[in-house]
Structure 1
Amino acid sequence: MMITDHLISVYDRPVPRYTSYPTAPHFHDGIDAAVMTGWLGNLPADEPLSLYLHIPFCRKMCWYCGCNTQIVARHQPIADFAAMLLKEIGMVADILTSGSHRRQVTSVHFGGGTPNSLAPGEFERIMAALDHHFALDADLDLAIELDPRTLDAEFLAAMRRTGVNRASLGVQDFDAVVQTAVNRVQPYDLVERCVADLRSVGIRALNLDLIYGLPFQSVSGLRRTVTQAVTLAPDRIALFGYAHVPWMKPHQRLIDEQSLPDGHARFRQFEAASQALAAADYARIGLDHFAKPGDSLRVARDNRTLKRNFQGYTVDRADTLIGFGPSAISALPQGYVQNAPDHTPWARDVGEGRLAAVKGVAVSHEDRRRRAIIEQIMCFGRVDLADFAFDAGQVMEPLAPLLEDGLCHLTGTVLTVTERGLPFQRVVAAVFDAYLVPAAKRHSRAV
């Protein structure tokens, strides 16, 4: 594809990743525990659910990290957290339960932080609580994010006993210089052993996370990383752009900004990695995911059932997502609700018997319409505005330069992102964002 310096200079600007709409910067404290209780209580009894559990602990801080996490040297804070998480699960289930009816759950996702910072017994008790309070599908998608550096045999055995069937490993880059620069030393051999261990306990569905735009990365080095990643034969590879937001994540100040690539270099890295993945028969899914033939993400892209939520691209058929743990966000029919981002206030609220929701946003009919349009662009690069009774004239002013520069084209009511525009998919989606403040320093760069 032909990407000029002009396009990168103009369009490599801060825009949301659109895992929600309205996006998180527009959440406010008018949506609290009382509102969330009411929203949960009004969910239809037959509404299937997806559950997300945020485990906010790591043994060591990775300097590139943009997640909500804290570093612990002892296990007791994690044990205390696990006890509170069990209580929160019970509280939410009590609000949802009508008589003996347990709500159907189609997907459970453990994220973090580092979910395998839990002791194996704690993880199994959490799964037992979910099984007790909810009706877990027989074909439940049970996924967990793992740190290969701290995964041991006992936790592997716990995952096998509880039926974990999908795992995601944080790799980022296999280059030793890059790993040192971001404080995550994790050799290829270690990851290779971890992959073998996961497959030995029956976890066949694997995802590897890679990052471009890190300090000291190069096109050739990233190609080597992709080559090594592909030899492990994961079903999916996520290729994220490093979001340098030290005003939000102060630990990122430990990264030497002079070692970071500029927008042009970032694009060359992404392009090289994408080409290497395509050569290995990994098809691009939306913005930043790649999948092997037969993978459910690839199938969902082709039959247009792919979705996007706070976990990124998903095939989960549940429209309602309930989040547990500090900072976790719930996506309900009425709107979004986020728990207290820090562990201490979250634990205090749960310990005192109330939900820890502190902010969120209600969604209007217009929000839902624009959200659906944005999701179509982010998932498929194409949307028929007529399907949503949306007049393109409402957005023609911001859309016009994108059309002129060939990032997308409009044929009748059908808007399509071009191959040239794929790196700027978020910029095209942002045209439909009625809340976006272009000058605000709230989001990562487009490329």
Structure 2
Amino acid sequence: MPTTPAELVDRYATAVPRYTSYPTAPHFHTGITPETYARWLKTLGQDATLSLYLHIPFCDRLCWFCGCHTKHTLRYEPVARYLDALFAEIDWVGQQLAGRGRVIAIHLGGGSPTLLTPADLLALRAHLAKTFTLAADVEISIEIDPNDIDDGRYDAMVAFGLTRASLGVQDFDPVVQKAINRLQSFEQTKAVVDAMRARGVRSVNLDLLYGLPYQSEATLARTVEAALSLDPDRIALFGYAHVPWMKPHQKMIPDAALPDAHARFAQAQMAARMLTSAGMTAVGFDHFARPGDSLAIATGNGTLRRNFQGYTDDAADALIGLGASAIGQLPQGYVQNLVPTAQYMECVSGGAGATAKGFALTPEDRLRAHAIMTLLCRFALTPRDVGGFGAAGRALLEEARTIALLDKDGLVEMDGETFRVTERGRPFVRTIAARFDRYLNAGAARHSLAV
């Protein structure tokens, strides 16, 4: 008998990483130090392209669904002190680079970057321009909380050079919003989108979540319909990651109110159908974009990538993470800053780097990282994809062939010499990718559900 969708969920909706890196962050270790990071930065070429991620770890309200490293504050003084420390880290990184590299992308995330006052936001832009060489066409995205925004902040973001506004919506249903402590009306969200459009910001992204407490297919469908009415350029459709052992505030969400794996799967599939039926292109397993958007174009021409911000067309040679808990990616491997904000501030204010841990990649790590990213971006792995890895690449394709031969549920197949994830298997691509993860069962890391 053919395997039913319900049986597939039971078998493959397991807890696996999101694979925004390989190896994943739980495997980072303290053997990577500020001195290691400094050496790596100094090896970047004069013409290297750089992407900057700046983490602002403060919110004036704590959303109970949030899995980010953030702190709740109702006063601005801690934010201002943190910004001084961030400037110090920018200076430290600039000293290591010594003028090398060109910044092609900047992303402000959090937390809530829109907590920054207009004056401080513009001071940050000036400090970046003083320290780095910014490309004339640098792409700049900022995560926006509609509850923090006003005309001064709108104008400051435009003066900063904003090219993409990213708004967290999650769900418009008031019952769901109350359960996650994220009250945000459709009218508030529309006002931000309209203000961005009126000021010439060319791209708007909306983040939606499925798998939230008290959420149903009907409530999610209404949210998707409302989101589409705003004509966004991109929509990210994430599955809520319930990890109360990592984020204690998630214990405020009653487990009994959460949809089970079958309901989550149905929600995700329904929302994806609505988005593609509205003319959006599916990008990987959880993003959607208008056909003319750069993510959709990257999907079509095979240049889509994946990093700590999810799917991207950012092709920078190095991702420089700035701020508490920020993660960077260089050719040699990964680095992550100190997570506790106070420790981070003390460290960088003393003129040192803030690297707390990271991971230096081996040749096999590079191969598997490339294979996993390729599968998550293109749902296929060809001999050409691994050809540059020689015998190790050929061995990995044989490993993939064995996986295909053992698959009895129609999730993967060998199409000639190509290992391909079938349409049936695409919702479970994270679980499929996990089969190539040599570190998955090492250590005690716990993960969220794969659907």
TM-score calculated relative to the size of structure 2: 0.96
Q: Quick one: distance in 2 between partners of 1:120 and 1:386?
A: 49
SS in 2 for 1:404: coil
5+ residue gaps, structure 2: 387-392
Deviation at 1:214, TM superposition (A): 0.1
The AA in structure 2 aligned to 1:307 is R
Describe the shift of the 1:292–1:3 C-alpha distance in structure 2 as closer, same or farther (beyond 3 A).
Answer: farther
Deviation at 1:103, TM superposition (A): 2.4
Q: Quick one: distance in 2 between partners of 1:15 and 1:390?
A: 26
Alignment correspondent of 1:415: 419
Describe the shift of the 1:257–1:305 C-alpha distance in structure 2 as closer, same or farther (beyond 3 A).
Answer: same
**1:19-39 Cα distance to aligned partner (Å, 9 max, x none):** 111110110001011111111
Describe the shift of the 1:200–1:332 C-alpha distance in structure 2 as closer, same or farther (beyond 3 A).
Answer: same
Alignment correspondent of 2:9: 8
Question: Contact 1:14 / 1:441 at 8 angstroms: preserved in 2?
Answer: no
Aligned: 1:90 with 2:95: no
Question: Contact 1:148 / 1:194 at 8 angstroms: preserved in 2?
Answer: yes
Question: Contact 1:385 / 1:415 at 8 angstroms: preserved in 2?
Answer: no
Deviation at 1:41, TM superposition (A): 1.2
Describe the shift of the 1:172–1:252 C-alpha distance in structure 2 as closer, same or farther (beyond 3 A).
Answer: same
The AA in structure 2 aligned to 1:95 is Q
Question: Contact 1:346 / 1:356 at 8 angstroms: preserved in 2?
Answer: yes
SS in 1 for 2:352: coil
Question: Contact 1:214 / 1:242 at 8 angstroms: preserved in 2?
Answer: yes
Question: Contact 2:53 / 2:322 at 8 angstroms: preserved in 1?
Answer: yes
Which of 427, 431, 436 in structure 2 is aligned with 1:432?
436
Deviation at 1:130, TM superposition (A): 0.9
1:212-251 alignment runs, 5 A limit: 212-251=210-249
Alignment correspondent of 2:308: 310
Alignment correspondent of 2:298: 300
Aligned: 1:393 with 2:398: yes
Deviation at 1:387, TM superposition (A): 3.4
5+ residue gaps, structure 1: none
Alignment correspondent of 1:49: 50
Q: Quick one: distance in 1 between partners of 2:152 and 2:211?
A: 35
Question: Contact 2:54 / 2:322 at 8 angstroms: preserved in 1?
Answer: yes
Alignment correspondent of 2:371: 373
Q: Identity of counterpart residues, as a percentage?
A: 48
**1:244-268 Cα distance to aligned partner (Å, 9 max, x none):** 0000000000001000000000001
Describe the shift of the 1:286–1:51 C-alpha distance in structure 2 as closer, same or farther (beyond 3 A).
Answer: same
Q: Quick one: distance in 1 between partners of 2:3 and 2:195?
A: 42
Q: Quick one: distance in 2 between partners of 1:416 and 1:235?
A: 29
TM-score calculated relative to the size of structure 1: 0.96
Question: Contact 2:108 / 2:143 at 8 angstroms: preserved in 1?
Answer: yes
Deviating above 6 A after TM superposition, structure 1's stretches of 4 or more consecutive aligned residues are none
Describe the shift of the 1:345–1:24 C-alpha distance in structure 2 as closer, same or farther (beyond 3 A).
Answer: same
Question: Contact 1:386 / 1:413 at 8 angstroms: preserved in 2?
Answer: no
The AA in structure 2 aligned to 1:11 is Y
Deviation at 1:412, TM superposition (A): 3.5
Which piece of structure 1 moves more, 381-390 or 437-446?
A: 437-446
SS in 2 for 1:318: coil
Q: Quick one: distance in 1 between partners of 2:352 and 2:373?
A: 33
The AA in structure 1 aligned to 2:26 is P
Q: Quick one: distance in 2 between partners of 1:126 and 1:439?
A: 39
Alignment correspondent of 1:363: 361
1:40-189 alignment runs, 5 A limit: 40-97=41-98, 101-189=99-187
Q: Quick one: distance in 2 between partners of 1:173 and 1:343?
A: 30
Question: Contact 1:85 / 1:324 at 8 angstroms: preserved in 2?
Answer: yes
Deviation at 1:284, TM superposition (A): 0.8
Alignment correspondent of 2:410: 406
Which of 256, 265, 268 in structure 1 is aligned with 2:266?
268
Deviation at 1:386, TM superposition (A): 5.2
**1:328-379 Cα distance to aligned partner (Å, 9 max, x none):** 0010111100000110110010011100100000001111111111111001
**1:109-165 Cα distance to aligned partner (Å, 9 max, x none):** 001100101111111111111111111111110110010111111111101112111
Q: Quick one: distance in 2 between partners of 1:370 and 1:276?
A: 34
